[in-house]
Structure 1
């Protein structure tokens, strides 16, 4: 995978960044950069300036089946905003990605703020533009693949519907999909070394926050992300492209957090009720069993959130 540092962003979404700045932001980034003077500055048409590391090519030739390009950017509003700017510039292909040092306006579900200090992972990547029906399964598939990748590293993780990544009963990350026209981008945030303090979490709504470091995993952002993107590509090709369909929901349910457990469901601002998680619907909704008028009734929700009782 080609990895480049975005020194100057002509869209203005990301701050200027040099290899020395990146190394100074956090020890994990310093380990990635190595000697800052080993990076070469490359200017491109349109005003963008990149730094290319030792042994890296100046340009991606764009051959078929390319492994994706990773652009590391400085502090920004969000990695998704930088990625969308690259889409508008015609410079963001499927499985290309952006990795931000930090975010000023990171966003999660329902546009909630995502705490984004240096040292964690804040990324965005492009899914292929033609996912099979139903497209509403793509967010579930994203969480499923991320949980599978962590499991491949020896950490039993799951995805909490609709878009959280959990280990045990702690949230360690999340995903957010955005679609504009035919393009679909996925934002991914994972706590590598730091987690929000309990007072920063939504009262009575959120799980406690955890980190991968708590489980003995201390990956650098670039190494962790490049391995994850390769895993995403492989899973998409093997599970989706080859069969023209998403995996059966019964398979993805194996990574569904809180399956069979009692949860508190919040739909909208006022509809709150207890229920039991039954699994996934064929369109990616969450199947629940709830008590209505003294009787147990199965229902499916497509928006909202759950938390453990």
Structure 2
């Protein structure tokens, strides 16, 4: 597939918005040192100070039979990069990568007509972050070259996207489940009212399977957290 075009900017509101607002060819990657209005799923703020990698890339939705599992596929590619570095990452369904119980990377996929705009926020060299987040530097004290990091990350993402495009989600399911946070544990799905169940794993389309008192429930979207012990 390949990422053929790279636009590296100092500061933007959001790399997602750049790809939404202007016409770029598929395969374009937009990177920013800082984002003024970085966001994650459901419009949540993503802290985007200098030291992290904030980038979005443009895909053609018509090339992918399945779109909903795409954040999981990209998240696994990020995990593969981290494993290569010697880290032990995990995936928090549906779009986050964690190290040592804290978020190190978030993925956001948005569809606009035939465009798939895929954003990645990756904490690399930041020295301080909110309590729920962590950077690679905060784990091992190593400052990394952001351009080299981006190049390696994109190689892993490109490889995963090629496989996803040709084979669908099926070959990814078991690999993602191996890294899935809370697997086999009792969790709360933050619905109204909240749903409590055992996280059994993923369905063939990337949805979450919860074992509840009323039977298995398939969850397409939402936030999960561990049920606190009382």
Q: Which whole-Å CA distance do the structure 1 matches of 2:116 and 2:200 have between them? A: 29
Structure 1 match to 2:130:
197
Structure 1 match to 2:173:
249
SS in 1 for 2:34: coil
- How far did 1:255 drift? 2.4
**Does 1:76 pair with 2:12?**
yes
What runs of 5+ residues in structure 2 fail to find an aligned partner? none
Normalising by the residue count of structure 2, what TM-score does the alignment of the two structures yield?
0.88
Call closer, same or farther: CA 1:197–1:137 in 2, change over 3 Å: closer
Q: Which whole-Å CA distance do the structure 1 matches of 2:194 and 2:125 have between them? A: 33
**Does 1:170 pair with 2:102?**
yes
Normalising by the residue count of structure 1, what TM-score does the alignment of the two structures yield?
0.67
- How far did 1:215 drift? 2.5
- How far did 1:155 drift? 0.9
Give me the CA root mean square deviation. 1.9
Structure 2 match to 1:260:
184
Maintained 8 Å contact 1:83/1:92: no
Maintained 8 Å contact 1:124/1:187: yes
Maintained 8 Å contact 1:155/1:215: no
Structure 2 match to 1:234:
159
What runs of 5+ residues in structure 1 fail to find an aligned partner? 1-64, 199-207
Q: Which has the larger radius of gyration?
A: 1
SS in 2 for 1:135: coil
Q: Which whole-Å CA distance do the structure 1 matches of 2:194 and 2:3 have between them? A: 44
Q: Which whole-Å CA distance do the structure 2 matches of 1:70 and 1:223 have between them? A: 13
Deviation string for 1:197-255 (max 9, x for gaps)?
23xxxxxxxxx211111232432222111111112112222x234x4423242233222
